[in-house]
């Protein structure tokens, strides 16, 4: 699922809707838009196609055919006479309308963008196919509303474009190859697995008309509720059926598609229903229950396998210019680089990443450890990635220099070289469920998150964060960001979405064993904000500060533990530093007369989570009343408190002087008693408060010890969890490597069996030796001739006693290995039978000489074959009734047949060995004839029907027709000229 075509909005992790450049406000038209590509033999196919589409069909066609740059297209006139649709040549900025056929003009690239045609000149030497350009534009802007069709034509044009249309959710169709005049294009597309439907052209027209009537192409308003993302929640019945589809997929493929976005799933289901000619979702559920193949096809459709080599080349340039040099410089002294591409599809992006890194390493490549992991949930894609075999179409993406260095040409296309293949490890893995790799330097996860819902996106980001080293890098697609997990990463390159893991960021525990998406809530460790970064001067903020300082009452800000965090205004009348250790506890700093009111007020505010006001409190000077306002604010679970102090003049009346001495004495005694009682009460209250404070301190101390122990236990638990996760990751890597080794072992076993059967079937004595002249392998025919037995494998060849006479055999072999040139000489066995001994260097896959190959060819057998050939040629010449002469390179007569001597008299001694223009009195001495004969051998120019008049017998003039042909070996030295002479009368007859 790498670098796939965009789907719906992806939540906070994405910018826009993830459309990868498509216009956000563009809405696909409510009719079908299809592009049709063809080349040789396409006129007949085009005519049949447009003839079968009625004028009222809600569809528009774009026809793209190869033609010369300066050729005027006659297709509009030809097809206009055969179609009920309006056939016109495509022009720039022309609106796309139903009932129309738009034909590409010569020397241009035509595309469909935002409901209009774009026509641009085709650059000279452009290697981009016009058909693929049209298909790609349709896939990019019409996505699942696109239809691509490939008709008759040569080469492989259209295959790459169909792949992108299918990946975007569109429908792809190809003409039945047996019906096409030139079947290369449809066969290539079918072989690449990018074609949904294969039909004759007449049925393609009927299929287009049928598709045009489906809700899928008529717009969202015509679609059923389960396909519409704008209806939330969906209808109960359709939602139940869609969940049944995902349950079947999970049981069959082990992938939980409930973690994908609902619009993605519904569009892919609608596409498969259109192909299977079903309109009811319940009917499709029944089909899935009965047809396992359809379940597999739907699963592959949803996984969206589309990728290519060096997709978005600018991103790979950014990696090569800034990321790779930094990773190489910062790598561990003993370790190499570890890279991971989750959702790698068929492996192109993994190999592209490895190739880019190898190019940066240059000469240090062989001494620098590099390991690139590629994972995907599709076993089919992983198997293709492991094979490393790709079609010829990758040449346009890779370039000639990289093809030469990192690829090997094979019959079916190109294969990744062993150098790159050995550094890349592929395995099936579900990144949302299976343990990830660990200690990675770089993760390339492009355009995978856009298909997942928001909780799963968060979980995957957490998994990627865990897998990276402390300074590891993460690269996302152009339409993706870290979103809600931004505090886990710092931005390195915003344009190319490159992020670096923050060293201090901690992540909640990730459960790798659960298939349900766990919401990962990233959090940073709490640190006190010791320094506040300077901010720019703000007029409004400064004005607010001045107003508060002048008119606001003094106050303090307390945290949830009643510790003072900020003081505003003059608070000395209400607070004072306590004796002993310095403390910011407000209850220890408040003056004694206000202590009880502040303590009770804070407790009340904490319990009620509401403001509390305490009025009429005695101040320290006894002449004013104090009011305390307590207001909680901030997080309800971790609140702060604003405490304001207001001092007001006392309103208590002054005591009056009594006239009676007794009354005065009684009042004094009562007042003294009240003072004593009040003093006692205060002492008791202070003692209780001291006891309470001491108990609180003891409890706080015990609580701190418990918290400390709890933190230690939590730290130990986190270490155990980390060790467990590392073990899981290590086990996953071991399983991956074991699977890789198993696959390679199977390949090696198969190759060994093929080689054994090949050698057993060859009836020629062949012996393979290593660079130190030890026998590596030999054919059964070599056992008798060279006197070998199976146990001789591994022995030096000079330790055996062969049945051929070649005393310096080991020296000959050593010279071939040292010089890299083949040697051939004649030897005899003990019975005197001659053999041709041929020694050639043994070359490895890397074109390195690693031994030699000996082959013995039976010379008598060759001589017998040559003798038979000579006898056959002699018999043929004798039986031909026309005169024939064989000439050497110097035009000397080698042989003439009996018909020559009967026609022109003479004998072999008078003719053979002499130049043709001197025999029989210069009868054949013609300047033009001589010129033609001399050009036959060196320039390979045969000639026929050369007329020549010559005198025969008693001055009888006859006219002959001469034919000359080059006969024999590939080099002129071993070839001869066969000259055939016929009477001109015979030719006329």
- The predicted-structure confidence for 106-146, as pLDDT tens digits, reads as follows 878 889 888 889 988 877 666 678 888 899 889 888 888 88
3-class DSSP assignment, residue 305: coil
| pLDDT tens sequence across 305-315 | 778 899 889 99
Burial label, 424 (beta-carbon count in 10 A; 0-12, 13-18, 19+):
buried
According to DSSP, residue 322 is labeled I
Half-sphere exposure for 480 (CA within 13 Å, toward CB): 27
Alpha helices (H) along 429-520 = 454-467
The average pLDDT across 720-724 equals 80
What is the distance between the alpha carbons of residues 963 and 978, in angstroms, rounded to a whole number? 8
| pLDDT tens sequence across 944-961 | 888 888 877 667 788 889
DSSP E strands, 477-569:
489-493, 498-501, 505-506, 523-524, 555-558, 564-568
- Which strands make up the sheet holding 834-843, listed edge to edge? 775-778, 766-769, 849-858, 834-843, 823-828
More confident residue, 812 or 648: 812
DSSP E strands, 844-955:
849-858, 884-887, 893-896, 943-952
pLDDT of residue 643: 93
pLDDT of residue 204: 92
The average pLDDT across 698-725 equals 79
The average pLDDT across 736-757 equals 80
| pLDDT tens sequence across 376-412 | 988 888 988 998 998 887 888 888 899 999 999 887 7
CA distances 632 to 568, 597, 613, 635, 864, Å, are 17, 16, 12, 9, 113
pLDDT of residue 530: 33
3-class DSSP assignment, residue 883: coil
pTM for the complete prediction?
A: 0.56
Provide the percentage of residues in the chain whose pLDDT is more than 90.
13
Q: 509 pLDDT exceeds 80?
A: no
Provide the percentage of residues in the chain whose pLDDT is more than 70.
84
Transcribe 625-686 into DSSP letters: EEEEEEEEEEETTEEEEEEEEEEEE--PPPPPPPS-HHHHHHHHHHHHHHHHHHHHHHHHHH
What is the distance between the alpha carbons of residues 666 and 656, in angstroms, rounded to a whole number? 15
Q: 825 pLDDT exceeds 90?
A: no
More confident residue, 810 or 14: 810
| pLDDT tens sequence across 424-444 | 999 988 888 888 888 899 999
DSSP E strands, 933-983:
943-952, 956-968, 975-983
| pLDDT tens sequence across 5-36 | 333 333 334 333 333 333 344 466 788 899 99
Question: Could you count the other beta carbons within 10 Å of the beta carbon of residue 683?
Answer: 10
pLDDT of residue 234: 44
Question: For all residues of the chain together, what is the average pLDDT?
Answer: 80
pLDDT class of 534 with cuts at 50, 70, 90: very low
3-class DSSP assignment, residue 233: coil
C-alpha dihedral over 764, 769, 773, 775, to 10 degrees? -80
pLDDT of residue 148: 94
What is the distance between the alpha carbons of residues 373 and 733, in angstroms, rounded to a whole number? 9
Handedness of CA 494, 498, 502, 507 (dihedral sign): positive
């Amino acid at each position: 699922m790498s670098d796939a075509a965009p789907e719906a909005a992806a939540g906070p992790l994405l910018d826009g809707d993830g459309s990868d450049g498509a216009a956000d406000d563009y809405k696909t038209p409510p009719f079908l838009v299809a592009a049709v590509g063809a080349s040789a033999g396409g006129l007949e196919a085009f005519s049949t196609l447009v003839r079968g589409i009625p004028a009222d069909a809600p569809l528009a066609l774009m026809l793209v055919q190869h033609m010369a740059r300066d050729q005027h297209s006659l297709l509009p006139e030809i097809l206009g006479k055969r179609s009920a649709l309006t056939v016109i040549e495509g022009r720039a900025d022309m609106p796309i309308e139903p009932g129309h056929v738009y034909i590409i003009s010569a020397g241009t690239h035509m595309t469909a963008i935002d409901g209009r045609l774009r026509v641009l000149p085709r650059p000279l030497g452009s290697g981009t196919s016009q058909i693929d350009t049209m298909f790609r534009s349709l896939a990019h802007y019409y996505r699942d509303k696109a239809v691509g069709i490939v008709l008759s034509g040569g080469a492989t044009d259209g295959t790459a474009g169909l792949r992108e249309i299918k990946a975007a959710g569109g429908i792809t169709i190809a003409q039945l190859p047996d019906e096409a005049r030139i079947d290369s294009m449809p066969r290539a597309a079918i072989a690449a697995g990018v074609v949904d439907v294969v039909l004759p052209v007449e049925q393609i027209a009927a299929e287009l008309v049928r598709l045009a009537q489906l809700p899928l192409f008529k717009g969202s308003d015509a679609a059923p509720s389960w396909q519409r993302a704008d209806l939330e929640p969906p209808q109960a019945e359709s939602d139940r059926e869609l969940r049944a589809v995902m349950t079947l997929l999970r049981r069959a493929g082990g992938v939980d598609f409930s973690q994908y976005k609902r619009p993605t799933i519904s569009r892919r289901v609608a596409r498969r229903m259109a192909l299977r000619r079903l309109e009811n979702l319940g009917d499709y559920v029944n089909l899935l229950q009965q047809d396992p193949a359809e379940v597999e096809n739907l699963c592959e459709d949803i996984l969206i396998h589309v990728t290519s080599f060096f997709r978005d080349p600018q991103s790979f340039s950014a990696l090569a210019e800034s990321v790779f040099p930094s990773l190489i410089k910062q790598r561990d002294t003993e370790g190499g680089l570890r890279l991971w591409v989750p959702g790698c599809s068929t492996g192109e992006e993994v190999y592209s990443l490895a190739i880019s890194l190898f190019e940066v390493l240059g000469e240090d490549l062989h001494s620098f450890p590099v390991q690139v992991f590629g994972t995907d949930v599709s076993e089919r894609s992983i198997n293709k990635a492991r094979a490393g075999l790709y079609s010829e179409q990758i040449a346009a993406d890779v370039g000639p220099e990289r093809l030469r260095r990192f690829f090997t040409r094979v019959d079916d296309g190109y294969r990744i070289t062993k150098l790159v293949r050995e550094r890349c490890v592929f395995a099936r893995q579900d990144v949302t469920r299976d343990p990830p790799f660990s200690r990675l330097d770089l993760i390339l996860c492009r355009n995978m998150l856009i298909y997942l819902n928001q909780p799963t996106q968060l979980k995957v980001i957490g998994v990627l964060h865990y897998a990276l080293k402390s300074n590891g890098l993460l690269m996302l697609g152009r339409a993706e960001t870290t979103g809600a997990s931004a505090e886990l990463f710092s931005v390195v390159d915003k344009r190319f979405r490159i992020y670096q893991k923050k060293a201090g960021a901690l992540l909640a525990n990730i459960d790798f064993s659960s298939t349900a998406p766990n919401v990962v809530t990233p959090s940073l460790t709490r640190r006190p904000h010791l320094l506040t970064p300077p901010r720019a001067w703000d007029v409004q903020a400064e004005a607010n500060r001045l107003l508060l300082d002048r008119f606001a009452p003094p106050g303090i800000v307390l945290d949830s533990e009643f510790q003072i965090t900020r003081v505003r205004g003059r608070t000395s009348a209400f607070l004072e530093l306590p004796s002993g250790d310095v403390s910011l506890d407000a209850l220890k700093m408040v003056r004694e007369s206000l202590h009880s009111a502040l303590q009770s007020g804070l407790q009340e505010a904490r319990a009620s989570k509401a403001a509390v006001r305490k009025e009429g409190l005695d101040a320290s000077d006894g002449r004013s009343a104090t009011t305390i306002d307590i207001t909680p604010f901030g997080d309800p679970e971790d609140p702060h408190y604003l405490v304001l102090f207001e001092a007001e003049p006392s309103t208590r009346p002054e005591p009056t002087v009594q006239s009676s001495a007794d009354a005065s004495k009684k009042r004094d005694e009562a007042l003294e008693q009240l003072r004593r009682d009040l003093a006692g009460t205060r002492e008791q209250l202070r003692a209780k408060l001291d006891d309470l404070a001491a108990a609180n301190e003891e409890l706080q101390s015990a609580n701190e010890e418990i918290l400390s122990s709890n933190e230690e236990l939590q730290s130990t638990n986190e270490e155990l969890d980390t060790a467990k996760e590392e073990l899981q990751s290590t086990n996953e890597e071991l399983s991956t490597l074991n699977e890789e080794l198993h696959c390679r072992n199977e390949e090696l076993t198969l190759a060994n069996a093929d080689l054994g059967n090949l050698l057993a079937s060859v009836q020629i004595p062949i012996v393979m030796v290593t660079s130190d002249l030890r026998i590596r392998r030999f054919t059964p025919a070599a056992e008798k001739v060279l006197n070998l037995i199976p146990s001789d494998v591994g022995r030096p060849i000079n330790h055996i006693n062969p049945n051929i006479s070649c005393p310096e055999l080991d020296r000959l072999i050593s010279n071939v290995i040292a010089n890299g040139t083949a040697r051939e000489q004649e030897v005899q066995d003990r019975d005197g039978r001659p053999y041709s001994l041929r020694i050639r260097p043994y070359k490895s896959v890397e074109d390195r000489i690693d031994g030699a190959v000996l082959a013995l060819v039976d010379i008598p057998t060759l001589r017998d074959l040559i003798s038979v050939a000579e006898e056959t040629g002699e018999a043929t010449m004798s039986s031909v009734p026309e005169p024939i002469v064989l000439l050497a390179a110097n035009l000397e007569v080698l042989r003439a047949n009996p018909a020559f001597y009967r026609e022109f008299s003479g004998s072999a001694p008078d003719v053979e060995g002499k130049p043709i223009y001197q025999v029989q009195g210069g009868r054949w001495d013609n300047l033009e004839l001589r010129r033609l004969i001399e050009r036959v051998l060196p320039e390979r120019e045969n000639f026929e029907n050369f007329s020549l008049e010559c005198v025969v017998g008693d001055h009888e003039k006859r006219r002959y027709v001469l034919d000359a042909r080059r006969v024999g070996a590939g080099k002129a030295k071993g070839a001869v000229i066969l000259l055939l002479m016929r009477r001109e009368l015979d030719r006329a007859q």
